[in-house]
Amino acid sequence: KFLHPTTTFSSSPDDLTSAAIRRPIDRGYLINPDLQRDIWSHLFTSLLHVTPSSSSLLLTEPLFSLPSIQRSTDELVFEDFGFSSLVVADSPSLVHLYETSCRPCGLVSEAQCSLVVDCGFSFTQAAPVFQNITLNYGVKRIDLGGKALTNYLKELVSYRAINVMDETLLMDDVKEKLCFVSLDVERDLQFARKHGKDNLFRCTYVLPDGVSHTKGYVKDPEAAKRHLALTDGASSSEAIETKNETDQLGVMDKTAERKRVDLTKNEFDLTNERFLVPEMIFQPADLGMNEAGLAECIVRAVNACHPYLHPVLYQREKDLRPLVPDDYQVNITTQEDPILGVWRGGSLLASSPDYELMRVTKAEYEELGSARCRRRFFR
C-alpha cells in the first residue's frame, strides 16, 4: 500500500462550517504520532481492510526529515501496526518516475533528468531529480504554500465583504475552485477594475446556510470561467471580443437549478483576489515574507547542480525567462492530474523489481534499529 499522512477534522461530514482541524503533520513533518496512529488505524481497518503483518508499506516522507521524526514513523509502522516491511520514498522522485513512464519518448525520459516543483500545504520546493534520485544538495524550499494562500484569501474577503476568518475549509474550497495564476498581472488588474460584464473576473460564491445546502458553491460556474478567454499577450480589445463570444455561447445559458437560487443568501463577489492570491507564490515579499519567489527558487535549485544538467533542468516561463541564460530553452510540463502524480509513481515503484531490494523488513528493524535501516533509503 502507498500512503501519505492525512488530515482529520472534528465536524459533521456534511457541514464543514467552523470545522476544527487537527493535523498530525506540520510543515510536512510528523509532530503528533498518536493522532497519526488513529488516522492510520481507521484507514487500514475500515477503509483498506489490510492485514499489516502480511503487507508491505510504501510511504512518502518529506526531504530532510529529522532522525527523531524518522524513528517515530518507524515505530508506528513496525511496532504499533506490525507491517512486514517498509520502503520510504520522496515525492519528487516518484513524480519523475511517473513522468518518464507516461512519456517514454519525451525529454524527461531521454535525459533522465527533471526539476520537480511541488506546491504543497505548508511549503513549496524545487527539487532536481536525476535517474530517479532526488539531488538533495540542489533542493530549494520556500516556506509558503496553500495554507498561507488560504489565510491571505480569508483576510481579503473578510476586509472587503464578509468575515470568514474562522472558515478555513470553506475558503480552501473557494481558493481551489476560483483562484488561478495570471499570465499578465498588470493587464488583468486593468480588467478587474472594470464594471459589469466587462469585468472578466467577477464571480459570486454562495455560502452554506446549514438548511438547504451545507456546502458553498459558485453561483454561476460559466461566468467563473470567462477569464479563460484571455490568452497570453492578448490585447484588451481582443479579450473583450472573445469574452462577448463566450457570453453568447455559455454565460447567458443558465440552468434551471441556478435560476432558482435565492439571491438573499449570504454570498460574496471575487474579482482580483482570484489571481492576486496565487501571485504571492511568485512575490512572497508582498506578504511581508523574507522569501525568494518561485522563479528565483527554481534558478537557485538548478544552479546548485552540475552545469551539464542546467539545459535539461530548464525545460512559468514569464518570470523565469529573464533569469535564465539565453542559450537555454525554458519549458514547463504540467501533469494531467498533479494530485495523483506521486501516488501513481509510488504504484509503479511498488510493482517494479527494485522494490524488493529497497525493502526494510521488520526483522531487520528489530535487529539493526531505525538509524541503520534508514541508510537503505538514503539518496
CATH for 167 = 3.90.640.10
Instruction: Tell which residue, 38, 46, 47, has the closest CA to residue 10.
Output: 38
DSSP H helices, 247-328, are 256-259, 273-276, 294-303, 310-313, 317-320
Give the pLDDT score at 172: 92
- Round to whole Å and give the CA distance between 189 and 279: 12
Do residues 205 and 281 both lie within one domain? Answer: yes
Query: What is the amino acid identity at position 268?
Result: F
In a domain, 246, yes or no: no
Do residues 281 and 304 both lie within one domain? Answer: no
Do residues 90 and 172 both lie within one domain? Answer: no
Do residues 123 and 11 both lie within one domain? Answer: no
In this predicted model, what pLDDT tens digit does every residue of 127-181 receive, in sequence order? Answer: 999 988 999 999 999 988 999 999 999 999 999 988 999 888 899 999 999 999 8
In a domain, 256, yes or no: no
Give the pLDDT score at 251: 42
* CATH at 353: 3.30.420.40
C-alpha distances (whole Å) from 354 to each of 98, 291, 358 are: 15, 38, 6
Give the pLDDT score at 237: 52
List b or e across 81-112, with b for residues whose CB sees 16 or more CB atoms inside 10 angstroms. Answer: bebbbbbbbbbbbbbbbbbbebeeeeebbebe
In a domain, 195, yes or no: yes
In a domain, 30, yes or no: yes
Give the range of the structural domain holding residue 86, as residue numbers without chain letter. 1-94+337-378
Do residues 69 and 109 both lie within one domain? Answer: no
What is the pairing mode between strands 203-206 and 217-218? antiparallel
What does the block give as the cell for 41? 488505524
Domains in the chain: how many in total?
3
Give the pLDDT score at 8: 44
- Round to whole Å and give the CA distance between 90 and 342: 9
pTM above the 0.75 mark?
A: yes
Which residues of the chain are under the pLDDT cut of 70? 1-20, 231-265, 315-321, 329-331, 378-379
Give the pLDDT score at 337: 78
In a domain, 20, yes or no: yes
